Amino acid sequence: MAQGILDGDLIKQLADVAKDEALLQGILMRTKEDPNSSELVTYAPFTLFPSPFPKAAFLQGLAVQTHYNTLVDKISQDTDFLQEALASTIEVDEFTARLFKIHQQILKEGGSQSVVLGLNRSDYMLDQKEDKTSSLKQIEINTIAASFGGLSSRTPHVHRCVLKLAGRLEESRLILDNNPAAGLAGAIIKAWELYGSERAAVMFLVEEVMINIFDHRFIENELRKRNVPTIRKQFDDVAKTGSLDQDKRLFVDGTEVAVVYFRTGYMPQNYISEESWEARLMMERSLAAKCPDIHTHLVGTKKVQQVLARPGVLERFFPAQPEVVQQIRATFTGLYTLDMGPEGDRTEQMALAEPERFVLKPQREGGGNNLYGSDIIQVLNAVRGTPERTAYILMDKISPATVQNYLLRRDAVLKVSHCLSELGVFGVYVRQGREMLMNECVGHLLRTKSSEHSDGGVAAGVAVLDNPLLL
Ligand code: ADP
Ligand code: MG
Ligand code: MG
């Protein structure tokens, strides 16, 4: 890249300006030392330069997003499919089983919510083939607590600034505006309006440790601009002060809740006690629109992703739309079952023979849970011949070309790193009863990490925020 020829002094100057611009824009994070107050904040980690990304692949990701929204929403309503897809997983994975139990209970009782709100982010990497061509392949889709829609709304300005200072004015025009915060908020507002009470609030359900609070605040601000009341609560608050009235209206701490926006609840550690699980069940039973509801949450599991990649499965959801099937399937890479039986045995053999070609994934979110290389061998050997194997799925490892960039992060030395990027595309939808009222792609996120790391997102401290420089 061009910046490779820049001298150290200039890089240092650019980095200083970039950090100040990031602070000016509100691209902030709380610090490890003081994670629950805003007395001590720093810039959220980001790249000094935007990373090149092929425009065609970028547009492909945007174009397929509304179909992914439809797919997620259809699966969430297909009880038989979810039951079948997750049957083996819930035998051994306690967390997924617990979520599944709530899903079944809601089905049995008949859900009360008529408004369905989906905010998801489909993530991709560019798989580079031997002939150096590359194609966009999905890493996963996040249906719960997909983050960085807020902060990524402000990063284009910073990168344009850096490029201009580096004398690359023309290239600065190749960075698109991006405002997922507004789009995510737009869908939340739509769901809130359909709920139909001006007094009722949008409740952000949040973790105890809130390092990434500014990402939420951008969305909260959008809601406030439109006079939509918001509250921030933890599972514990809901457990202690939450209740349903006779019409299943949810009240938390005296406030009626129209929309529950989950920014927690995706990992076992988020449910610190039985009361947290009871609080989740209460929210699911309520009239409030949940983002996501329990059914949609389950759609985001890696197991569902693997089952979708089986021949003929996408056709079930788009029987009369082969072109949609084709468009979605084009973004799939190899995904393999580890269920008990000959097919799972073949997957196991394949992974043991060439572990560096694959990623082994349990049903977890939030980064840092997947297994690579020799760890794959170790885990597969440990679960051999037991149903524990079915807690995992196997996936082809996607290998993008690396580019050079500088990762700006507090306390890190300023140096060139070989980096790879992951593109996220934000999608929103709102359905009332059977009618889809909104289905949109609302922006993107580029996260970049040093190629030394196999796994991990921004919150996990590995990847940093970036922007695609569309080529
Ligand atoms: P999580 O829900 O924890 O974010 P992901 O499936 O997104 O789980 O995996 C976490 C990270 O691991 C990704 O951000 C990516 O860096 C890496 N990763 C996951 N799957 C693959 C893959 N198939 N090929 C290459 N890297 C992958
Ligand atoms: Mg995820
Ligand atoms: Mg991920």
**What is the tens place of the pLDDT at every residue in 283-314?**
999 999 999 999 999 999 999 999 999 999 99
- Residue 242 CA, ligand 3 centroid: distance in Å: 31
Cα–Cα distance measured from residue 347 to residue 335, given in angstroms and rounded to the nearest whole number: 10
Indicate if ipTM > 0.90: yes
Q: Domain residues of the chain, as ranges?
A: 2-333+405-470, 334-397
- Residue 384 CA, ligand 3 centroid: distance in Å: 27
Q: List Cα–Cα distances, 308 to 26, 72, 439, in angstroms.
A: 39, 11, 21
Are the CB atoms for 389 and 91 separated by under 8 Å?
no
| Phi, psi torsion values for 187, nearest 5 degrees | -70, -40
pLDDT value at residue 461 = 76
pLDDT band at 3 (very low <50, low <70, confident <90, very high): very low
Residue whose C-alpha is closest to residue 442's, from 68, 71, 44: 68
pLDDT for residue 464 is more than 80: yes
147 as an active site residue: the answer is yes
366 as an active site residue: the answer is yes
Give the nearest ligand 1 atom to 137 CA: 23
Query: Do you know the residue count of the chain?
Result: 471
447 as an active site residue: the answer is yes
- Measured from the alpha carbon of residue 302, the closest ligand is 1
142 as an active site residue: the answer is yes
SS3 for 42-103 is EECCEECCCEEECHHHHHHHHHHHHHHHHHHHHHHCCHHHHHHHHHHHHHHCHHHHHHHHHH
Nearest C-alpha to atom 22 of ligand 1 is from which residue? 397
Where in 303-357 does DSSP place strands (E)? 335-336
365 as an active site residue: the answer is yes
Q: Active site residue: 142, 421, 439, 467, which one?
A: 142
Task: Name the binding residues.
Answer: 121, 140, 142, 302, 361-370, 372, 395-398, 422, 447, 449, 455
Ligand 1, pocket residues at CB < 6 Å: 123, 125, 139-140, 359, 361, 365-367, 369-370, 395-398, 422, 455-457
Nearest C-alpha to atom 15 of ligand 1 is from which residue? 455
| Tokens standing for residue 204 | 């952000």
pLDDT in tens, 14-34: 999 999 999 999 999 999 999
Q: Active site residue: 217, 290, 303, 361, which one?
A: 361
Looking at the domain covering 334-397, what would its CATH class be? alpha beta
| Tokens standing for residue 355 | 């572990």
Looking at residues 114-123, what average pLDDT do you find? 97
Q: Active site residue: 30, 121, 280, 290, which one?
A: 121
pTM over 0.95: yes
108 as an active site residue: the answer is no
pLDDT for residue 457 is more than 80: no
